[in-house]
């Protein structure tokens, strides 16, 4: 293992880390704040990835635009899902929420399998940005795009939640719906909006996934697993924590697949192992508190 390979691995890991962080932030918005349980969040990412992929490979549409389109489509789908049944289930208990969205997740994965087949695809898109040379290592152009947009998404969501009045109202609406209603907040509308934003984020993240990862029906589950590991490592709602968590996870994964023979399939093992170890040592994650019931 030489310095070049190591640095290369680390740099690539960081770009993927930005992607995971973006996905995790959508999850944070939906679940960490509004406590809407959307087990199918990963599947929204997956659909977004497929949409971007098909737009690029069939119509040569720039993946960035493709990602935006995916975001909008997923936002529309979120609307449909919310009105069709999620709103109703929200009024029932959490137990039913998670069951219903598990059902949605299964439905979407299998629909994807029926429409697009179970095999993995790769998007062969021309570099949007030129590759960046830092000393002796190179970051491919598309990885740069993922890094930038992923980071923007993540920062954007976090800022929205913490820095804007809207975000404050949203947090109020979910912490104390009764009080929020008294204060004139349209609680139902806020939940719907946050779910839509979650869908938008998921769709755009899906576009990013299409740029740098394999595209297949289970890529969403992969992503959520990793997002969960990030949350376990870094805690919800903690910017520094999520960044550190994402970095640790993707570095560990990349190292394993690069340096351990046959290590490519260790992805889940690593994510899960990290989750378990962190939770044993620090039940509230490395930084955050909101994991516990």
Stated length of the chain? 293
Comparing CB distances to another protein, the nearer of 141 and 177 is 177
60 or 88: whose CB is closer to another protein? 88
Site for another protein in 204-263 (CB under 8 A): 221, 224-225, 228, 231-232, 262
Extract the tokens encoding 267.
Answer: 């992805």
Q: How many CB atoms lie within 10 A of CB 184?
A: 7
CA neighbours closer than 13 Å in the CB half-sphere of residue 155:
7
CB-wise, 141 or 267, nearer to another protein? 267
150 vs 217, beta carbon nearer another protein: 217
Does 92 help bind another protein (rule: CB under 8 A)?
Answer: yes
Residue 88 interacts with another protein (CB under 8 A)? yes
262 sits in the region (left: phi over 0; alpha: psi -120 to 50; else beta) called left
Helix (H, G, I), strand (E, B) or coil at 132: strand
Interaction of residue 83 with another protein, rule CB under 8 A: no
- As measured in angstroms, the least distance from the Cβ of 107 to another protein is 3
Nearest to another protein of 209, 270 (CB atom): 270
Q: Does 286 bind another protein (CB under 8 A)?
A: no
Cβ-based nearer residue to another protein, 28 or 143: 28
Q: Which of 6, 72, 266, 282 binds another protein (CB under 8 A)?
A: 266
- Which range of residues in 63-71, 94-102, 202-210, 246-254 is near another protein by CB under 8 A? 94-102
- For 276-285, which contacts have Cβ atoms below 8 Å and span 24 or more sequence positions? 278/232, 278/233, 279/232, 284/235, 285/231, 285/232, 285/233, 285/234, 285/235, 285/236, 285/241, 285/245
Instruction: Give the separation between CA 148 and CA 291, rounded to whole angstroms.
Output: 28
Of 5, 110, 164, 186, the one binding another protein (CB under 8 A) is 110
Q: Which residues contact 289 (CB under 8 A, 6 or more apart)?
A: 235
Among 7, 172, 272, 286, contact with another protein (rule: CB under 8 A): 272
Q: Which stretch binds another protein (CB under 8 A): 82-90, 154-162, 194-202, 206-214?
A: 82-90
Q: Does 163 bind another protein (CB under 8 A)?
A: no
C-beta closer to another protein: residue 143 or 254:
254
Residues 2, 198: Cα–Cα separation, whole Å: 41
Q: How many residues bind another protein (CB under 8 A)?
A: 51
User: Residue 126, interface with another protein (CB under 8 A)?
Assistant: no
| Nearest Cα to Cα of residue 14 among 169, 260, 245, 178 | 245
Nearest alpha carbon to residue 247 among 15, 2, 8: 15
């Amino acid at each position: 293992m030489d310095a070049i390979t190591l640095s290369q691995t680390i740099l690539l890991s960081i770009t993927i880390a930005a992607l995971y962080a973006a996905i995790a932030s959508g999850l944070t918005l939906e679940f960490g704040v509004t406590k809407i349980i959307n087990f199918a969040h990963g599947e929204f990412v997956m659909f977004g990835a497929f949409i971007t992929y098909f737009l690029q490979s069939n119509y040569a549409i720039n993946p960035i635009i493709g990602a935006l389109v995916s975001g909008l489509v997923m936002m529309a789908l979120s609307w449909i899902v919310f009105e069709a049944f999620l709103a109703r289930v929200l009024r029932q208990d959490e137990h039913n929420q998670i069951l219903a969205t598990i059902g949605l997740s299964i439905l979407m994965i299998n629909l994807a399998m029926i429409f697009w087949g179970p095999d993995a695809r790769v998007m062969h898109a021309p570099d949007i940005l030129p590759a960046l040379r830092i000393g002796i290592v190179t970051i491919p152009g598309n990885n740069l795009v993922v890094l930038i947009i992923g980071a923007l998404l993540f920062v954007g969501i976090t800022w929205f939640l913490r820095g804007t009045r809207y975000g404050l109202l949203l947090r109020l609406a979910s912490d104390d719906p009764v009080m929020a209603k008294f204060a004139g907040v349209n609680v139902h509308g806020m939940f719907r909006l946050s779910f839509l934003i979650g869908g938008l984020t998921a769709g755009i993240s899906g576009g990013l996934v299409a740029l740098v990862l394999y595209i297949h029906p289970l890529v969403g589950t992969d992503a959520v697993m990793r997002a969960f590991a990030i949350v376990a490592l870094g805690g919800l709602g903690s910017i520094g924590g999520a960044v550190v968590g994402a970095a640790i996870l993707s570095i560990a994964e990349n190292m394993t697949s690069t340096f351990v023979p046959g290590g490519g399939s260790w992805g889940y093992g690593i994510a899960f192992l990290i989750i378990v170890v962190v939770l044993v040592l620090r039940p509230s994650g490395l930084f955050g508190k909101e994991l516990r019931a």
